[in-house]
Chains A and B, each alone.
Chain A
Amino acid sequence: MSESVVDPDEVRHVADLARVDLDDDEVERFTEQFGEIIAAFETLDEVPEVERESELANVMRPDEAHDCLSQDEALQNAPESEDGHFKGPKVS
């Protein structure tokens, strides 16, 4: 259908964009599987350009303050928090 569209470097690049570390075995498996899956996606080339009817309507609401989670509730699932804030890793 098409030449192998994916090589290991490309898998590593996409994993980097998606912020997912992969081990070498995963890179190897994904390289092989992605070639096959992306070849299937390429059959979408046969789809004609279709005029899309838009039945979409915006849904609006008044911009008013309402009850929401307390600070404790919002923090209860955080692996770590400090002084009422989420604790994140270093920016750089």
Chain B
Amino acid sequence: MATEYNAYVTTERIEGDDDGPLAGTTVAVKDNISTEGVQTTAGSAMLDGYVPPYDATVVQRLKSAGATIPGKTNMDEFGMGTTTETSAYGPTENPAAPGHVPGGSSGGSAAVVAAGDADMALGTDTGGSIRCPAAFCGVVGIKPTYGLVSRYGLIAYANSLEQIGPIAPSVEEAAELLEVIAGPDDHDATTRDNDGATEGLADAADGDVDGLSIGVPTELVEGADDAVVETFWDAIDELEAQGASYHEVDLPSVEHAVEAYYVIAMSEASSNLARFDGVRYGQSGGYDGNWNESFANAREEGFGEEVKRRVLLGTYALSAGYHDKYYKKAQDARAWVKQDFDSALDEADVLASPTMPVPPMEMGESLDDPLQMYLADANTTPVNLANLPAISVPAGETDDGLPVGLQLVGPAFGEKTIIRAGSALA
């Protein structure tokens, strides 16, 4: 069923098996995840009418677990955005904060969960695209450790950074959904079987934070909006009251994380999106002129402005003479961020920060200034660079009633630790 807040691109239902752990549960699926026989657009006009001939691994697992998929959710085009306003199918509105964006790029998924139109949803997170909308819509979202969940059938944006993950009203439900989709897959060689990392996830949501050690990276709190910081510390107080303790930690590398993230993500995007030439699928560029003209025409028509911006910037960063200056430096920054997080997690069980440094923006506010929009990803992108798991749980609301999320980051394949910690709040 369509929603008033434009959260679905397609509302064709997909019925799962009769029984299984998710029988009787609806799980909406982000529209960049392939569903056999049901249109999958990734929010792009390029793929309008594209019908995948196969299911993504996570969709197969949902169906086997008995879930019903009520539709494919709206998203920033190819996952490129922080507000779900770059979709070719129009922006999604935040049902938890009308007039505001739901966050992105998995904005439709978070919105249907927040509004209660789906029990749970799948999103994808390349630089915060699950955690940001979860925070903005007042629900729970988990970005799994790189390699925990198969990306087979996901329309790629930046392969080395992205993971599919759950969005749900509570940590326990998000963990249940993660348990269904996680685990090795022969179709994705980057998945890993990591000693029980995929079992007992839902059971870990027991809310026991007695003795939990929380590190708070000062760099991720200082730059945030006052109302967000206040709500963040209230949530830390709440965890302290339940037996956790916190200390401040220093992560100097994160000052460069957003820039490094965008260089790497755009570079990978420029390569990934080269496949859209209008021949095998997608909008045709016609048959006049030579193939370069035809491809350039298809891509002018099929791609929206943010996608063109990222493909061009990625092409620039990888082009002769600039590769060492940008891409190689970004890889150095990535390695540095990893080391910083690993050391901080030697001294703490989890690292906590506001998920987003700002409350949900008003619709239409941030589209004219791309750099400003990129900088809003300051707290989420370092986690993707470090390949680590993170959860966003509702921390409360600002005085204006806008949702604020708390992000908890754990060690690689330490999903149970962040699920346990997060479940003390939601």
- Interface residues in B298-345 by Cβ distance below 8 A to A read 299-300, 303, 305, 308-309, 311-313, 315-317, 319, 325-326, 329-333, 335-336, 339
Does B218 reach chain A (CB closer than 8 Å)? Answer: no
Among A11, A44, A89, max chain B CB count under 10 A is at: A89
Produce 1/0 per residue, A70-92, CB < 8 A to B.
Answer: 00011011111000001111111
How many residues on A have C-beta within 8 angstroms of the other chain's C-beta atoms?
48
Contact of B189 with A59 in the complex, beta carbons under 8 Å: yes
- Interface residues in A31-88 by Cβ distance below 8 A to B read 33-34, 36-38, 40-41, 43-53, 59, 61, 69, 73-74, 76-80, 86-88
Residues of A within 8 A of B51 (CB): 76-77
Residues of A within 8 A of B253 (CB): 47
How many residues on B have C-beta within 8 angstroms of the other chain's C-beta atoms?
62
Does B296 reach chain A (CB closer than 8 Å)? Answer: yes
Interface of B: prevailing SS: helix
Does B211 reach chain A (CB closer than 8 Å)? Answer: no
Q: Which of A23, A76, A90 contacts B53 (CB 8 A)?
A: A76
Contact of B259 with A86 in the complex, beta carbons under 8 Å: no
Complex-state Cα separation, A46 to B280, whole angstroms: 43
Does A26 reach chain B (CB closer than 8 Å)? Answer: yes
Q: Which of B311, B319, B371 contacts A37 (CB 8 A)?
A: B371
Contact of A20 with B316 in the complex, beta carbons under 8 Å: no
Residues of A within 8 A of B281 (CB): 77-78
Residues of A within 8 A of B370 (CB): 33, 37
Contact of B260 with A34 in the complex, beta carbons under 8 Å: no
Does B246 reach chain A (CB closer than 8 Å)? Answer: no
Contact of B312 with A15 in the complex, beta carbons under 8 Å: yes
Contact of A91 with B316 in the complex, beta carbons under 8 Å: no
Take A21-B296, A41-B262 as given contacts and tell me if A14 and B331 are in contact as well, using a CB distance cutoff of 8 Å: no
Contact of B335 with A50 in the complex, beta carbons under 8 Å: yes
Contact of B53 with A69 in the complex, beta carbons under 8 Å: yes
The closest CB in chain A to the CB of B300 belongs to A21
| Chain A residues close to B by CB (< 8 Å) | 11, 14-23, 26, 30, 33-34, 36-38, 40-41, 43-53, 59, 61, 69, 73-74, 76-80, 86-92
Knowing that A18-B315, A19-B299, A74-B53 touch, tell me 15 more A-B residue pairs with CB under 8 angstroms.
A22-B300, A34-B313, A36-B371, A37-B262, A41-B317, A47-B336, A49-B332, A50-B336, A59-B189, A78-B281, A87-B279, A88-B294, A89-B285, A89-B287, A90-B290
